[in-house]
């Protein structure tokens, strides 16, 4: 498991990695980016989806040359794929992520059991999110992303 995470460019929980990861690009000027980062981090933390510090969280969304700690996700695969799908569809992150969601998540996130997300599980979850099969499970995520786009 640890080797797979490091090969994917991430870090083991509580450890740092020398690798340089591509940032998840938020669209906008510096003020908008900072505002979205603060609001997204606050909302995800408040709902219990993650407990990483704002500084460590923001390293994944900016060009950062240092070590990055993986973000531990306490929600489900459907919720994390819904987060990315909604961030793309609402124009918060670059549209190119729409086709890279299953490969982007494991580079920046680990699951609640401190294990990497599996590509197949993410692809199935993303398909279910896009088809609307899991709408009843992702309401909190939809609300969070909608609140970001209303303010920013």
CA–CA gap between residue 31 and residue 152 (Å, rounded)? 9
pLDDT of residue 152: 66
The pLDDT tens digits for 16-55 are 433 446 889 999 999 999 999 999 999 999 999 999 999 9
How would you classify the pairing of strands 71-72 and 109-110? parallel
SS3 assignment, position 110: strand
Tokens of 20: 């340089």
* pTM across the whole model: 0.84
Q: Residue range 137-143: average pLDDT?
A: 95
Q: Determine the angle formed by the axes of helices 119-131 and 77-89, rounding to 10 degrees.
A: 60
The pLDDT tens digits for 49-97 are 999 999 999 999 987 777 889 999 999 999 999 999 999 999 999 998 9
């Amino acid at each position: 498991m640890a080797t797979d995470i490091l090969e994917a460019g991430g870090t083991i929980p509580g450890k740092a990695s020398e690798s340089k990861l591509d940032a998840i690009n938020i669209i906008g000027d510096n003020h908008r980016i900072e505002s979205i980062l603060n609001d997204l981090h606050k909302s995800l933390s408040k709902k219990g989806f993650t407990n990483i510090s704002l500084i460590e969280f923001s390293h994944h969304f900016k060009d950062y040359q240092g070590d990055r700690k993986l973000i531990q996700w306490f929600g489900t695969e459907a919720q994390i794929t819904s987060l990315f799908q909604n961030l793309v569809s609402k124009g918060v992150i670059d549209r190119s992520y729409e086709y890279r969601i299953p490969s982007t998540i494991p580079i920046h996130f680990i699951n609640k059991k401190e294990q990497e997300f599996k590509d197949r599980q993410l692809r199935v979850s993303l398909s279910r999110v896009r088809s609307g099969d899991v709408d009843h499970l992702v309401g909190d995520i939809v609300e969070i992303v909608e609140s970001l786009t209303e303010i920013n």
